[in-house]
């Protein structure tokens, strides 16, 4: 029996298997450069240890540009399944809140200390006061009131003796003075008046319970769930691009991979590509076997 018919293909398969196995191992090994004096042996360290930073950058860019893109995240976060889950959670929360008698101030105080709570409330009150005051001041309320006075007075003076005797001119003069006085009064006292009202309303709200507010909303026929869902959708559409830019997914991935120990990275890659790498080794054996068979023909 001519054993070379069997031996040559088997030797070829063995060589192909071993060379591919070594090639796979050289992806990760050696972990560090091997030196003989000042000379560094070629292919040391392994491909992945040597190019770890480039690998991290490539994976980070790939995930950021192809996987977790703005469009992908937006489609996912605004999908019907996600919105249905949010709606269900909101509904359950509002239903449970209708029986919660804990005052809002106590709920907030459980998360922050009293000093921070008071400072936060004061900031909210001051910001609301400033915002409302600026709106009223810029609306030139004195002129608006004066114009309405003139319109009402002219209607009342139509056909009257006072109207014929120049009452309209007198009223116009008075309204101009009233406009100036109203604007002066708003500039001098408006902020304090608004602040007192804001403090009173904020105090009333913080001392109310979750149940009180929830029941008020329910009794007003306001669909709070839909309002919150609309706010969520608007937030995702308008703010998601800036959030993604701020988070910088690519940099997070790069930093994570670069901080990984090379053995940990090897374990991760082998976990993901174990089948493919084994197939590559076995393919080497198959190609070696085929070449061994072909060699028998020559």
Tens-digit pLDDT profile for residues 250-279: 888 888 888 888 888 888 888 888 888 888
Same domain, 130 and 197: yes
Q: What is the pLDDT of residues 28-52, one digit of tens each?
A: 888 788 888 788 777 788 888 888 8
Contact predicate 195/129, CB 8 Å? yes
Which phi and psi angles does 39 have, rounded to 5°? -95, 130
Please report which confidence band the pLDDT of residue 162 belongs to, taking 50, 70 and 90 as the band edges: very low
- Least confident range from 19-33, 62-76, 104-118: namely 104-118
Q: How many CB atoms lie within 10 A of CB 58?
A: 14
Choose the final residue of a domain: 171, 192, 208: 208
Most confident of 43-52, 173-182, 193-202: 193-202
Contact predicate 240/77, CB 8 Å? yes
Please report which confidence band the pLDDT of residue 4 belongs to, taking 50, 70 and 90 as the band edges: low
Within-domain flag for 223:
no
Distance CA 197, CA 190 (A): 11
Q: What is the mean pLDDT of residues 199-211?
A: 84
Buried b (16+ CB within 10 A) or exposed e, 173-199: eebeebbeebbeebeeebbeebbeebb
Please report which confidence band the pLDDT of residue 5 belongs to, taking 50, 70 and 90 as the band edges: confident
| Of 4 and 12, more confident | 12
Please report which confidence band the pLDDT of residue 167 belongs to, taking 50, 70 and 90 as the band edges: very low
pTM to 2 decimal places:
0.55
Q: What is the mean pLDDT of residues 274-291?
A: 86
Contact predicate 265/257, CB 8 Å? yes
Same domain, 129 and 197: yes
Specify the number of domains making up the chain: 2
Same domain, 64 and 129: no
Q: What is the pLDDT of residues 125-141, one digit of tens each?
A: 888 888 888 887 777 76
- Looking up tokens 């959670």 gives 89
Two tokens at 215?
């029941």
Choose the final residue of a domain: 162, 180, 208: 208
Same domain, 131 and 201: yes
Same domain, 195 and 130: yes
Two tokens at 120?
């936060």
Distance CA 217, CA 93 (A): 14
Amino acid 122: pLDDT:
87
Within-domain flag for 150:
yes
Q: What is the mean pLDDT of residues 53-81?
A: 87
Within-domain flag for 204:
yes
Residue 285 has pLDDT above 50, yes or no: yes
Within-domain flag for 230:
no
Distance CA 54, CA 47 (A): 11
Q: What is the mean pLDDT of residues 41-68?
A: 84
**Cis peptide bond prior to 30, omega within 30° of 0:** yes
Same domain, 134 and 201: yes
Which phi and psi angles does 103 have, rounded to 5°? -60, 150
Within-domain flag for 89:
no
Please report which confidence band the pLDDT of residue 96 belongs to, taking 50, 70 and 90 as the band edges: confident
Within-domain flag for 131:
yes
Contact predicate 175/150, CB 8 Å? yes
Q: Domain span at residue 163?
A: 125-208
Which phi and psi angles does 297 have, rounded to 5°? -80, -10
Q: Catalogue the long-range contacts made by 90-99 (C-beta closer than 8 Å, 24 or more residues apart).
A: 90/224, 90/225, 90/228, 90/229, 91/225, 94/214, 94/224, 94/225, 97/210, 97/211, 97/214, 98/211, 98/214, 98/215, 98/218, 99/211
Amino acid 165: pLDDT:
43
Strands (E), 15-74: 35-36, 39-40
Within-domain flag for 87:
no
Choose the final residue of a domain: 193, 208, 223: 208
Within-domain flag for 281:
yes
Same domain, 64 and 136: no
Calculate the average pLDDT of the chain.
Answer: 80
Dihedral of the alpha carbons of 198, 200, 206, 207, in degrees to the nearest 10: -170
Amino acid 166: pLDDT:
45
Please report which confidence band the pLDDT of residue 61 belongs to, taking 50, 70 and 90 as the band edges: confident
Distance CA 218, CA 221 (A): 5
């Amino acid at each position: 029996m001519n054993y070379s018919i069997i031996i040559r293909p088997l030797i070829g398969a063995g060589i192909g298997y071993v060379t591919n196995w070594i090639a796979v191992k050289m992806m990760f090994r050696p972990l560090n450069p091997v030196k003989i004096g000042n000379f560094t042996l070629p292919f040391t360290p392994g491909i992945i240890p040597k190019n770890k930073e480039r690998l991290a950058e490539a994976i980070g860019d790939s995930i950021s540009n192809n996987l977790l893109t703005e469009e992908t995240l937006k489609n996912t976060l605004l999908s019907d399944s996600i919105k249905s889950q949010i709606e269900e959670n909101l509904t359950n929360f509002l239903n449970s809140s209708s029986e919660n008698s804990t005052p809002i101030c106590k709920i907030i105080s459980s998360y922050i200390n009293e000093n921070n709570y008071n400072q936060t409330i004061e900031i909210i009150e001051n910001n609301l006061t400033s915002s409302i005051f600026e709106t009223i001041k810029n609306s030139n309320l004195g002129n608006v009131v004066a114009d309405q006075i003139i319109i009402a007075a002219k209607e009342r003076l139509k056909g009257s003796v006072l109207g014929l005797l120049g009452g309209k001119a007198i009223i116009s003069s008075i309204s101009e003075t009233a406009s100036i006085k109203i604007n002066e009064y708003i500039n001098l006292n408006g902020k304090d008046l608004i602040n007192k009202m804001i403090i009173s309303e904020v105090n009333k709200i913080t001392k109310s319970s979750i149940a009180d507010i929830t029941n008020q909303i329910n009794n007003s026929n306001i669909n709070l769930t839909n309002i919150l869902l609309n706010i969520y959708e608007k937030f995702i559409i308008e703010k998601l691009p800036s959030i993604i830019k701020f988070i910088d997914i690519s940099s997070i991935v790069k930093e994570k991979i670069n901080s990984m120990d090379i053995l940990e990275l090897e374990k991760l890659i082998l976990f993901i590509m174990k089948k493919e790498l084994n197939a590559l080794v076995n393919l080497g054996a198959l190609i070696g076997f085929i070449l061994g068979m072909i060699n028998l023909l020559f």
